[in-house]
Amino acid sequence: MKKWGLPLAAFLLLAACSEGEVTPPEPEGPAAIEHNDYAKSHLTESMIARIHHQLDNPPPLPQNEEELYKYNAGIFAGKRPAYTLKDSSVQSAQVRYALDLIADSEAVNESDWDHYTQYLYSLFKESYLSPLDSLRHWLWELGPQQDAASGPLATSSLHIQIALDLSPPMDDKMGEHTYAEVSRAVISQFVEQLPSDISFSLWLFGGEMQPGAACGAADLIYDAEQVDPAAVHDLLQKDGSEAVPSPEGSGLGQLLQAIQQKYKEASEIEKDKTTLLYVISSGASPCPEQDTAAAEAIAADYPRMKSHWIGYQVDAEGNRHLQQIAEVSDGWYQNAAGPQDLLIHLQQASEWAERWASWQEHKNGAAEPEVPVWDDVVYEWSRQWDERARRQRGNLENALMYLNSEDKIPRDAFAYVQNFLVEQYDWLTELHKTRYEELMKQNQFTF
């Protein structure tokens, strides 16, 4: 089984240069970019609208652990802090656009400081996975008896399905790549890690909805008993009709209805498979009223399916909608701030597929596969948390230093916001430490 060897940045560069992929143009230097021109050429209308909405109505800061998990990931989260926000990269220029909207120092007074603190936080806040959700994944693998030998990977065939949203918000960019391009690259890399005899399906949904039009159907563009990574890669790289959803546009409800219909028509052997469904969504849905009912129905009719809902760079409304869908479908939800978050979720699926293959070999006399132990699972949750907290602090500090260097905020405001950043990081660190120590002492998990 191959591991996730290439760093994501290197992989995306290779994916962008592969056959059928259009390499993005080189970014202009900051001196050549006026804000309005830059916004027109590199920021989509939806990104500009989201930034201005957050400037005018920044959400209140989380005051406790529950609010931290529910708070939406920022539009500029998920990326490692740039060395400077004054370089010529597209990512830095995007961040500068959002920061330059803050009034200059003469217009800022003490009553604005909290407002701008909330705005900055909303731009860079990372997505944190609760230890409860992280450990639920582990217990699912162990099965009801908490014994991997009687769990779903050891006792059932495995079918992995991925559904990719290609609605207009997926054309937004972080740096030089659209969210859709990043998602395609991550999925393409993922299928290369799967055992060749795994069942795999790929769905597309979303698309542009015409005003007043009815929602169309989701499209199943790949479905095979044995996955062919090269064929999946070719489909993902195509710009033609095979790689875009139906022109009518479809939402989460239409996707789930299509999956449910396919399940009803399947053979008893197919229905007996354990299915892992991963839905990468922008959170936008043209027919949201159908989504919840479809999620409840598929959970009731498809008991051997576990759904993973990944909101990729969703806004606050999309975040709440996907959380609700995950809840009614008895699935898991994660607000992915960037490519690394997508990789983490699909890497787990890759590890599950690898252990599934090892269980098949065990049936023919091979050694029983090793399953992660409690301490390993807790440590991995802790590592991811710490990485995101450090990334969040670095991005916020860089933003504050930029505002200070450009005289966007006075010294008193700089000290005020800087003190908040320190307090926020200390709170995250202490919360992380407390939960980690509790879990390590507990050495068991019930819910």
State what percent of residues in the chain have pLDDT above 70.
84
Asked whether residue 397 is domain-assigned, the answer is yes
Record the pTM.
0.85
Asked whether residue 289 is domain-assigned, the answer is yes
Of 372, 401, 433, which residue sits at a domain end? 372
CA–CA dist 130, 137 (Å, integer): 12
Asked whether residue 11 is domain-assigned, the answer is no
Asked whether residue 172 is domain-assigned, the answer is yes
Q: Is the pLDDT of residue 389 over 90?
A: yes
Residues 49 and 171 grouped into a single domain = no
Residues 161 and 276 grouped into a single domain = yes
Q: Is the pLDDT of residue 7 over 80?
A: no
Residue with tokens 């779903």: 152
| Cβ–Cβ under 8 Å, residues 215 and 286 | yes
Of 331, 350, 372, which residue sits at a domain end? 372
Residues 162 and 96 grouped into a single domain = no
Residues 194 and 329 grouped into a single domain = yes
| Cβ–Cβ under 8 Å, residues 148 and 371 | yes
Asked whether residue 18 is domain-assigned, the answer is no
Residues 234 and 111 grouped into a single domain = no
CA–CA dist 332, 127 (Å, integer): 14
Q: Is the pLDDT of residue 29 over 90?
A: no
What local confidence, expressed as pLDDT, does residue 37 receive? Answer: 61
| DSSP state, residue 211 | T
* Number of domains present in the structure of the chain: 2
Asked whether residue 204 is domain-assigned, the answer is yes
| DSSP state, residue 70 | H
Residues 417 and 314 grouped into a single domain = no
- Boundaries of domain holding 94: 43-126+380-442
Please tell me which of 33-42, 363-372, 404-413, 436-445 the model is most confident about, judged by mean pLDDT.
Answer: 363-372
- What is the sign, positive or negative, of the torsion defined by CA atoms of 176, 119, 74, 218? negative
Residues 53 and 117 grouped into a single domain = yes
Residues 277 and 411 grouped into a single domain = no
CA–CA dist 446, 366 (Å, integer): 32
Q: In this predicted model, what pLDDT tens digit does every residue of 104-151 receive, in sequence order?
A: 766 677 778 888 899 999 999 999 988 888 788 888 999 888 899 999
Domain with residue 295: its CATH number is 3.40.50.410
Asked whether residue 209 is domain-assigned, the answer is yes
What local confidence, expressed as pLDDT, does residue 22 receive? Answer: 31
Q: Is the pLDDT of residue 419 over 50?
A: yes
Asked whether residue 38 is domain-assigned, the answer is no
CA–CA dist 316, 311 (Å, integer): 10
Average per-residue pLDDT for the chain: 82
Residues 308 and 365 grouped into a single domain = yes
Residues 308 and 260 grouped into a single domain = yes
Q: Is the pLDDT of residue 285 over 80?
A: no
Mean pLDDT (whole number) for 393-402: 93
Mean pLDDT (whole number) for 156-177: 88
Nearest Cα residue to 362 out of 154, 219, 120, 147: 154
What local confidence, expressed as pLDDT, does residue 19 receive? Answer: 32
Q: In this predicted model, what pLDDT tens digit does every residue of 319-344 receive, in sequence order?
A: 889 999 999 998 999 888 888 888 88
Residues 316 and 408 grouped into a single domain = no
Q: Is the pLDDT of residue 205 over 60?
A: yes
Q: In this predicted model, what pLDDT tens digit does every residue of 54-109 receive, in sequence order?
A: 999 999 999 999 999 989 999 999 887 766 787 777 888 888 889 999 877 666 77
Residues 287 and 218 grouped into a single domain = yes
